[in-house]
Structure 1
């Protein structure tokens, strides 16, 4: 009997990936033919070719950006995806309850079950964890431009550099223009590193969360940070929240955005965000 095929995709630049030898991976799937691929630009064609061959098992070892790159190709297919978190934030993996240690995650994913989750779209681009505009998008763009290694501490440094001078972004929602510090569209509850921007968000509830932080006195910086990591942002007096399936923002004053933490530029001053329910199968 032919062994089923599994495609194991790893981001070679992820530091934690050095602990994942091919022999170690093969030991967790002894009854599979495992094909190893590296994540890089242009990989989409090969993944789509595997799907055309009828291969339905994929495992992605990388951060949220790598997960997004592969997951968007598997939406609305019969394929399922496991995640071995190797990034600095690992927002989706954490939200799914996966271990952040690669060896532990290997054991969980190789013995896991399939769960269907929702997918968000920002101007047609899929996101699985969070997307947004405002301060977080500005930091994502700064992070992408700087010549340094990826990692939590470098991101925190950018936050400190930008936070105290940032004045916000204007956007029109329904009939009124308002200034915001940040607007986050959340499928999962957190950005990553257990920073919970939408503590009540669920990846399979058929809804997206819109978490809006309003301009606030900068001396509230520590309070805001503590509330993010303690899941108490709902009590912050400069916070607004709503659930939605389809939402549009217009007349944005800044075209910077992020999708799953990766910097993107909007083509115009309008953001249209919607959900597709149970569109991606993940292994947990």
Structure 2
């Protein structure tokens, strides 16, 4: 009697792109993920580039978008074809790895080793190593949106005004754990934001503001706060959060409520949705983009939803 054939499952080959300069880098966290991959009979290749540019180039080599070289080696060939990329770092590391994964239609995951881990918080709810490791290895994934601003793709959020200032403050300090800490920090930083006349266009709706906060989210979290808790990851819409700049908004109360996910957007601080957003004048202003701070090099900043989406292991 002939035995029925069993379908062989594809062996998983994870490529770990490790940022050893991440704010909360832990070698044991990376090793723990490796041990779990081996326990499940998977394959892995680990890269530890020294700079952001090297990390981007090495990821391109991994997926076949760039030729390998002595300085940029190809992944472990006996492990089989690469089936997933894992960004071991913060939001900036995830952004670089994800932009390559999206182009090549590969799933990506995040082992959160940054300070605020906004993308991991948005996708995994609990941004700890144990939860992330389990989610990475489940094999299930969800699709999320990507957008482009200043010719740079992003997957979490961008911000002007309050959020870049908060990001700078947090670089040299601790992230508040409770609402009262966030309330004091946000209130103090908001008081120092320079108000600038800004013309904003959301699809066909045009208006002028002098905002303290101007944030555009695809995922809920920015700088450790759930600014857009109702955000849907794959709805194809940008969410813009802003105030009028007339000092009517209490940023102390805003921080306390948003930390608890209980803030209701209304007249003082508003939330609109659209597919194309433009802001001007922007030249020279600081832009927060998935955890990184860059100077805007153009007068008009246009943000558009990308036609491609990203698959994330979660």
Q: TM-score, normalised by structure 2?
A: 0.78
Q: Check the 8 A contact 1:95/1:189 in 2, yes or no.
A: yes
Detail structure 1 runs of 4+ shifted over 4 Å in the superposition.
Answer: 1-4, 141-144, 155-161
Within 2, Cα distance between the matches of 1:33 and 1:113? 18
Matched, 1:18 2:27: yes
Residue pair 2:209, 2:245 contacting (<8 A) in 1 also: no
Q: CA deviation at 1:236?
A: 5.4
Residue 255 of structure 1 contacts residue 265 of structure 1 at CA under 8 Å; is this kept in 2?
A: yes
What are the Cα deviations for residues 154-177 of structure 1, in whole angstroms up to 9, with x where unaligned? x97975653323242321124543
Residue number in structure 2 paired with 1:33: 43
Larger relative strand fraction: 1
* CA displacement, residues 221-257 of structure 1 (integer Å, 9 cap, x when unaligned): 3211112212233345411221111111122476211
Q: Name which of structure 1's ranges 234-243 and 27-36 shifts more when overlaid on structure 2.
A: 234-243
Residues 165 and 27 (structure 1), Cα distance of their counterparts in 2 relative to 1, 3 Å cut: closer
Paired residues of 2:265 and 2:271 also in contact (CA < 8 A): no
Q: Secondary structure at the match of 1:206?
A: coil
Counterpart Cα distance in 2 of 1:200 and 1:21: 31
Determine whether 1:118 maps to 2:145: yes
Structure 2: where are the runs of 5+ without partners?
1-7, 65-73, 75-80
- Count of residue pairs the alignment pairs up: 278
Residues 1:181 and 2:204 are matched in the alignment? no
Gaps of 5+ in 1: none
State the Cα RMSD in Å.
2.9
Find the counterpart in structure 1 of residue 270 from structure 2: 240
Determine the C-alpha separation between the residues in 1 that align with 2:126 and 2:192. Answer: 37
Task: From the CA coordinates, give the structure whose radius of gyration is larger.
Answer: 2
Q: CA deviation digits over 1:79-127, x for unaligned, max 9?
A: 1111111212111111113532213321221123022111011122111
Q: Comparing both chains, which one has the higher relative contact order based on Cα–Cα distances under 8 Å and sequence gaps of 6 or more? A: 1
Calculate the TM-score normalised by the size of structure 1: 0.85
